[in-house]
């Protein structure tokens, strides 16, 4: 992408609509109240408008965002008529980092409003991590055997490893990783965090589920890929009343045949429901001839409350694709990547602003379309 995109969608009116929404205008008002110096500067509404436009039009840099808005009168009008300078945009992002609590509150208002518009939002969630290669150069030395690189280094970025999945090649990458919980029914992100690439995904399951709940959602199930298949992850989900939906890795216990339904001389036992309070699933002898003919199996990694043998598990696991789809959209259509900032605080702000723009658009669309019968 060498030239700024021509505004897509109904562009300017959409941007103005977002700025006027109660969720975003609340942020503008709160930021306005933090102006401690008498320096006039650009109106906060114009600055927030620039930040939204950057994601809306998937523009990687402020320079191009300023160019785009300057070239399109309707866009400039939408943010109030005056186009801020590139330098003002940088200054504004510094301010947003300082007032990240206000930005968090704004995001929470948007997710809460989405929850009111979409009653099923957050009932089933999918959780995963995605790579964000650093803007900085990952080479530690300027040349082979040369001096250590200083100017282009990003002290917060680190080396991470990704496994080969389908057509994607595995290997190391340098930078960051976004961990996110998305709604498996709508693909909308509900909670996320930017971390360094070396961060291990399993450490973010509990915090992301807690953050999702803190935003007012009550996930009943949580779908994760094989990389999360370890005992503590199942406990983290169950402790938060979400049924873990995770495929099994071929561990020793699995190879020894300890997973799956109980069996008897009459064959494989049938699933007869789960009791989450009891923390166990019930299984029955296929012919009912055994005494007792049914028994409870305590929930664990090998015997989750939603058994892997059931159609429900398979359906919920298909929902896991939502998180990958959403990462793809955020990267390709909303410019989540490639990164053009260094340092974890800037990377986090970039992710927050990108996802805020995405969610705000989803909200304005949900409001435009009355609830389907």
Q: State which residue, 159 or 271, has the beta carbon closest to Zn ion.
A: 271
Q: Does residue 357 contact residue 103 with C-beta atoms inside 8 Å?
A: no
Q: Print burial letters for 124-134: b (CB count within 10 Å at least 16), e (below 16).
A: bbbbbbbbbbb
CB of 285 to Zn ion, least distance (A): 3
Q: Give the one residue of 121, 285, 323, 336 binding Zn ion; rule: CB under 5 A.
A: 285
Count CB neighbours of 161 within 10 A: 11
Question: Which stretch, 24-32, 163-171, 202-210, 287-295, contacts Zn ion (CB under 5 A)?
Answer: 287-295
Question: Which stretch, 13-21, 172-180, 290-298, 308-316, contacts Zn ion (CB under 5 A)?
Answer: 290-298
CB of 286 to Zn ion, least distance (A): 7
Q: State which residue, 120 or 289, has the beta carbon closest to Zn ion.
A: 289
Q: State which residue, 80 or 286, has the beta carbon closest to Zn ion.
A: 286
The maximal CA–CA distance of the chain, rounded, in angstroms, is 85
Packing angle between helix 344-368 and helix 22-32, nearest 10 degrees? 140
Q: Does residue 125 contact residue 190 with C-beta atoms inside 8 Å?
A: yes
Q: Give the one residue of 112, 290, 321, 344 binding Zn ion; rule: CB under 5 A.
A: 290
Q: State which residue, 9 or 266, has the beta carbon closest to Zn ion.
A: 266
Question: Which stretch, 10-18, 160-168, 283-291, 352-360, contacts Zn ion (CB under 5 A)?
Answer: 283-291
Q: State which residue, 192 or 283, has the beta carbon closest to Zn ion.
A: 283
Residues 223-282 that bind Zn ion (CB under 5 A): 264, 266
Please identify which residue in the block is written with the tokens 């503008």.
28
Distance CA 363, CA 200 (A): 32
Q: Does residue 31 contact residue 48 with C-beta atoms inside 8 Å?
A: yes
Residues that bind Zn ion (CB under 5 A): 264, 266, 285, 290
């Amino acid at each position: 992408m060498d030239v700024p995109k021509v505004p897509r969608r109904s562009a300017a009116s959409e941007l103005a609509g977002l700025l006027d929404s109660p969720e975003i205008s609340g942020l503008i008002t709160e930021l306005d109240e933090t102006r401690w110096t008498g320096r006039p500067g650009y109106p906060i509404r114009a600055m927030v408008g620039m930040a939204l436009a950057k994601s809306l039009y998937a523009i990687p840099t402020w320079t191009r965002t300023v160019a785009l808005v300057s070239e399109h009168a309707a866009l400039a009008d939408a943010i109030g008529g005056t186009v801020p300078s590139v330098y003002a945009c940088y200054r504004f992002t510094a301010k947003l980092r300082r007032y990240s609590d206000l930005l968090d509150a704004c995001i929470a208002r948007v997710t809460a409003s989405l929850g009111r518009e979409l009653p099923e939002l957050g009932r089933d969630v999918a959780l995963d991590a995605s790579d964000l290669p650093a803007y900085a150069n990952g080479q530690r030395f300027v040349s082979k055997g040369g001096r250590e690189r200083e100017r282009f280094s990003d002290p917060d970025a680190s080396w991470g490893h990704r496994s080969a999945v389908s057509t994607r090649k595995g290997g190391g990458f340098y930078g960051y990783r976004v961990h996110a919980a998305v709604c498996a029914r709508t693909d909308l992100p509900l909670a996320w965090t930017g971390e360094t690439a070396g961060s291990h995904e399993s450490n973010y399951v509990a915090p992301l589920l807690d953050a999702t709940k803190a935003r007012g959602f009550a996930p009943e199930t949580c779908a994760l890929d094989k990389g999360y298949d370890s005992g503590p992850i199942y406990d983290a989900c169950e402790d938060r009343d979400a049924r873990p939906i995770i495929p099994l890795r071929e561990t020793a216990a699995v190879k020894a045949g300890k997973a799956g339904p109980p069996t008897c001389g009459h064959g494989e036992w049938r699933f007869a429901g789960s009791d989450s309070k009891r923390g166990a699933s019930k299984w029955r002898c296929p012919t009912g001839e055994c005494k007792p003919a049914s028994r409870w199996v305590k929930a664990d990694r090998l015997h989750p409350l939603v058994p892997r043998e059931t159609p429900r598990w398979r359906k919920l696991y298909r929902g896991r694709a939502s998180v990958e789809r959403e990462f793809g959209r955020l990267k390709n259509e909303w410019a989540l990547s490639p990164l053009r900032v260094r340092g974890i605080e800037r990377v986090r702000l970039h992710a927050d602003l990108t996802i805020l723009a995405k969610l705000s658009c989803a909200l304005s669309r949900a409001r435009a379309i009355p609830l389907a019968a």
